Amino acid sequence: GLGDTGHGWSEALAGIKSPHVKYICPHAPVMPVSLNMNMAMPSWFDIIGLSPDSREDEAGIKQAAENVKALIDQEVKNGIPSNRIILGGFSQGGALSLYTALTTQQKLAGVIALSCWLPLRTSFPQGIISGVNKEIPVLQCHGDCDPLVPLMFGSLTVEKLKSMINPANVTFRTYSGMMHSSCIEEMMDVKQFIDKHLPPVD
């Protein structure tokens, strides 16, 4: 998430780890963020505004996606096939995970998108994507009291996703009373998704 480092989520994930899975929580680079009066903070790309019609940092989003693809390539070199890799993120990181999965030529095991939106949504052609991930399983989660990224953005994103990939593989979970954060119930859903799509291999 914007302004956070990988440490925050590595602690959250510590409670749901499976012994056969490797968890990587990368840090975003530090950059000035327009939304926060150009203050420098960890950010995957610039955010200009938080409404559906806000201008988006297209070059920054595409560069960030390339950085994530490079991380995936590194793991593939280490011997983990890309179809055993799940991308996940919260807020800005979730947005980046969705965008990367829909644009990469690496076949992935799934995406976990928490309290987020799909960036550059108008840049995708209508209908099913042509890439390798048109059957990708997606777990999208959102708090129904999110004041920062409203639940409506999550709902619109789910509808858009269902038109781009196999809708049967898109799961949308909402959590009553949850704001722009996480909760135990959500983490259990995340654990279930990871365990289902990354079963142990002999």
Active site amino acids: 91, 146, 180
Q: Which two tokens stand for residue 173?
A: 């979970």
3 state SS of 126: coil
Which token pair is 66?
């390339």
d(CA 45, CA 31): 8
Cα dist from 100 to 13, 42, 176, whole Å: 21, 19, 29
What gap in Å lies between CA 185 and CA 100, rounded to an integer?
Answer: 26
d(Cα 54, Cα 140) in Å, to the nearest integer?
A: 22
**Does residue 157 sit in helix, strand or coil?**
helix
Helix (H) or strand (E) holding 185: helix 184-197
